[in-house]
Amino acid sequence: MTGVDGGMVWWGWGAAEAHTPLPAGVRSLLEQVLGTACRDTPPVGTDALRLPVGSLADDAHAALVGVLGPAWVRDDRASLVRHCRGRSTTDLLRLRAGDAMDAPDAVVLPASHDEVHAVLAVCGRHRLAVVPFGGGTSVVGGLVAVRAGFAGVIALDVTRMNRLVSVDAKSQIVAVEPGVRGPALAAGLATHGFTLGHLPQSWEYATVGGFAATRSSGQASAGHGRFDSMVVGVRVATPVGTWELGRAPASAAGPDLRELVLGSEGAFGVITQVRLRVRPRPEATHYEGWRLTDFTGAADVLRTLAQRDLLPTVVRLSDEVETAAGLAGGSPVTADPVTGGAVTADPVPGGGCHLITGYEGRAGWVAARRSEVGELLRAAGAVALGRDIGARWLRDRFRGPYLRDALLDVGMFAETLETAGFWSTLPGLYTGVRDAIVAALAVQDAPGVVMCHISHVYPTGASLYFTVVYPQPGEPVASWGRVKAAATRAVLDAGGTITHHHAVGTDHQPWLAAEIGDIGMAVLRSVKDTLDPAGILNPGILLR
Ligand SMILES: Cc1cc2nc3c(=O)[nH]c(=O)nc-3n(C[C@H](O)[C@H](O)[C@H](O)COP(=O)(O)OP(=O)(O)OC[C@H]3O[C@@H](n4cnc5c(N)ncnc54)[C@H](O)[C@@H]3O)c2cc1C
């Protein structure tokens, strides 16, 4: 369904031709607001990239070639660099500065469940660490295995396993291989009259296996749910054998063990097939915008919608700063996670907070739900902004990562972090995290902009998605580490989760015990020891 490398540039996001420089207006506004001149900070040339010096031992390499054939065991520089880390801003900044020292020693591309098993057997025998690799879009350090104690590290790229395996139209269930990317899945399902409705901002490159392994959540989660809620079954290749789960729409056969696979981040096994609940393609869609006066009040309106079972398919509420940034920098609600022209902290008069609502489904449902939601929003003082703003959001909703690259090119730093909390704790979580970020930037003398939006809403609470933009300091990776640590401490203090959908990886791992407790850590450890007794899968990720 898709090419194996996906055409991603090594220094950023997406294909090279999809990039454009930062618009001049945004550039000058940034300089004005942050009081710092933009400067050209291009990535180093490919020749300057530093990779680890080691390579696989000849017998290990030969064994892998014996299993997959020479074309599918790669150790050329381009393949190794493409599989070096994920796509967080700090991942990119390291690469752009020439540091590819976390690259694997080889990349293997199995084409089937049995080949994955055979690869795992070779890696067990030769003591090689295995990093399951989907789209490589992790933003939490989920693709950097600990090397110590291993004879080498391989990236196990699943993107050759990219078939839509079967469609059970009667049950509305499809079976999909793990390497299918978002657009290919959507196209494949469309030919059968179905849609999945999972649209994370990384959709163009992230894979089905990655969605499952990280408990991803997409832009339409209000209507379609998180990815984990769409999974009815999984097939996993573990070092001790094949594990198949999910044989009925619901079951009381003990705890739901699928939950041990969802969010397992490659540490328990390689997901080789996912069975997903799909739904008919929508008959009608309608996207529009609203303005509400303040973020806390507007969040409460979302609470009412969720608790009255009146949610649209998509909701996205920007706080005052994100709204103002969008108004100043161009398109308000395209100020998506990573960047989006976040250039001012001064609320625009009358700007308030922008809300996007989107409806997808049967025509009758779209009309009725839109009318009920509109009534409730108007009663809460919201002002209708019309369809153009919704159309613009739809058009630009996957552009954020490209804008981030443009910002990195001019010496700016832009990164995101996310959490979630119950409604009763959400206001404190919002101010606590925002204040912690502002304080951590102030300590570093960094003039920055902090903005937030809500786009995943539940009857019991919501997620908060923060974007931080500031001029790149001398050591941006260390600087962000301090900001992120302060924000995470604030999350825990305010009763939020360390991650709503980005997963644990290595970045959040130090805080996992604070969230799930020592007993929780021991349970995860015992699962790991059962499924991966030699500990070859993603060492250091999820569990230390
Ligand atoms: C610009 C940008 C925007 C993003 N937007 C969103 C968003 O809106 N919502 C969201 O939820 N996330 C988002 N993310 C995070 C990321 O895209 C998700 O975590 C995604 O699910 C990862 O999928 P992937 O295929 O790229 O996995 P990878 O990055 O390749 O892997 C992620 C983790 O899963 C493991 N893994 C991958 N495939 C398998 C497999 N088949 N079996 C077992 N383990 C496996 C890896 O070892 C790793 O630990 C975004 C990231 C970026 C860079």
pLDDT in tens, 376-404: 999 999 999 999 999 999 999 999 999 99
pLDDT in tens, 312-325: 999 999 999 999 88
Burial class (CB in 10 A: 0-12, 13-18, 19+), 380: middle
Residue 19 pLDDT greater than 80, yes or no:
yes
Q: With a 6 A CB cut-off, is 197 part of the ligand 1 pocket?
A: no
Tell whether ligand 1 has an atom less than 6 A from the beta carbon of residue 161: no
d(CA 484, CA 139): 13
Atom 9 of ligand 1, residue of closest alpha carbon: 200
- What average pLDDT does range 251-276 have in this prediction? 98
Record the tokens describing residue 127, joined without a space: 């003591």
Give the pLDDT band of residue 5 (cuts 50, 70, 90). Answer: low
For residue 49, the one-letter residue type is L
Region 256-282: mean pLDDT is 98
What is the residue whose two structure tokens read 């996912």?
Answer: 274
Instruction: Report the pLDDT value the prediction gives residue 6, as an integer from 0 to 100.
Output: 66
Pocket test for ligand 1, best of 85, 102, 120, 138 (most atoms within 8 A of CB): 138
Model confidence at 81: pLDDT above 90? yes
Tell which atom from ligand 1 comes closest to the C-alpha of 271: 42
Rounded Cα gap, residues 227 and 258, in angstroms:
13
Tally the residues of the chain: 544
Q: How far is the CA of 208 from the centre of ligand 1 (A)?
A: 9
CA angle 128, 131, 135 (to 5 degrees): 150
Ligand 1 close to Cβ of residue 140 (< 6 A): no
Closest residue by Cα to atom 27, ligand 1, is 210
Is the shortest distance between the CB of 143 and ligand 1 below 6 Å? yes
How far away, in angstroms, is 110 Cα from ligand 1 center? Answer: 19
DSSP state of 17: G
State the Cα–Cα distance between residues 477 and 435, nearest whole angstrom: 21
The DSSP output letter for 482 is: H
417 by DSSP, 3-state: which? strand
The pLDDT score that the predictor gives to residue 55 is 82
Residue 339 confidence class, pLDDT cut points 50, 70, 90:
very low
* Partners of residue 286 on adjacent β-strands: 359
pLDDT of residue 492: 98
Q: Decide if pLDDT at 299 tops 70.
A: yes
Q: What's the confidence (pLDDT) of residue 350?
A: 59
Q: Is the CB of 135 under 6 A from ligand 1?
A: yes
- What one-letter code names the amino acid at 138? S
> Which residues, other chains included, contact 177 with Cβ-Cβ below 8 Å and sequence gap of 6+?
158, 161, 162, 163, 164, 165, 208, 272, 273
Q: Which range among 51-55, 176-180, 239-243, 423-427 shows the weakest confidence by mean pLDDT?
A: 51-55
Q: Whose CA is nearest to atom 33 of ligand 1?
A: 265
pLDDT digits (tens, 9 = 90+) for 328-338: 654 433 333 33
- For ligand 1, atom 14, name the residue with the nearest CA: 202
Verify whether ligand 1 is closer than 6 Å to residue 480 (CB atom).
no
Using alpha carbons, select from 189, 159, 163 the residue that is nearest to residue 177: 163
Residue with structure tokens 């009815």? 232
Ligand 1 contact via 314 beta carbon (within 6 Å): no
Residue nearest ligand 1's atom 21 by CA:
211
